[in-house]
Amino acid sequence: MSKPHIHLFTDGACSGNPGPGGWAYILRDPATGKEKEGYGYSPDTTNNRMELQAVIEGLGALKKPCQVELFTDSVYVGKGMEEWMAGWKRNGWKRKQKGRLVPVKNQEFWVQLDELLQSHDVKYTRVAGHSGHPENDRCDQLAVQAYKNRG
């Protein structure tokens, strides 16, 4: 039996970097149109951490393994998943910097995301932020609302 196909739209936002931040996701079953939104707040964080948290929360909300098309404006998340993560894992979650291995930034988030990627088949699709993409704009609105309202 094949895995259900799901669309996951995500965004993270931060007021200052670091500063208070928010994350948001929309899960959509394209076959039925059924949607679920989620969002949250962190008092002292960075934009990259909120971008990762949005994906982690969205994938974590799935109740069974799925084929997921991830739509995000975060090049950091996309490149991390598609280009960097395999090497980081091989090097014990370290990356090369000036010829030596140093710990990966946001390692705890990347490890969580890696665990979720073991259950789901995820395809990354980049969307341009603040470009009129309805779901990305909605996620941005929810993430900003989350940090402004502190949850």
Per annotation, catalytic residue among 51, 57, 80, 135: 51
Catalytic (active site) residue 11: yes
Average pLDDT of the residues in 17-46: 96
Number of structural domains found in the chain: 1
| Alpha carbon of residue 126 to chain centroid | 12
Per annotation, catalytic residue among 16, 44, 130, 151: 130
* Interior angle at CA 28, CA 136 and CA 131, nearest 5: 15
Per annotation, catalytic residue among 38, 73, 80, 135: 73
Per annotation, catalytic residue among 38, 40, 57, 140: 140
Please tell me the predicted confidence (pLDDT) of residue 76: 97
Catalytic (active site) residue 12: yes
Catalytic (active site) residue 114: no
Q: What is the CATH number of the domain that holds 77?
A: 3.30.420.10
33: three-class secondary structure by DSSP: coil
Catalytic (active site) residue 121: no
Distance CA(74)–CA(47), nearest Å, equals 10
Distance CA(8)–CA(5), nearest Å, equals 10
Over the stretch 107-129, which tens digit does the pLDDT of each residue have? 999 999 999 999 999 999 999 88
11: three-class secondary structure by DSSP: strand
Q: How confident is the model at residue 63 (pLDDT cuts 50, 70, 90)?
A: very high
Please tell me the predicted confidence (pLDDT) of residue 79: 97
Distance CA(85)–CA(46), nearest Å, equals 20
The contacts of residue 108 (CB under 8 Å, 6+ apart) are none
Catalytic (active site) residue 29: no
Catalytic (active site) residue 82: no
Q: Give the structural domain span for 74.
A: 5-148
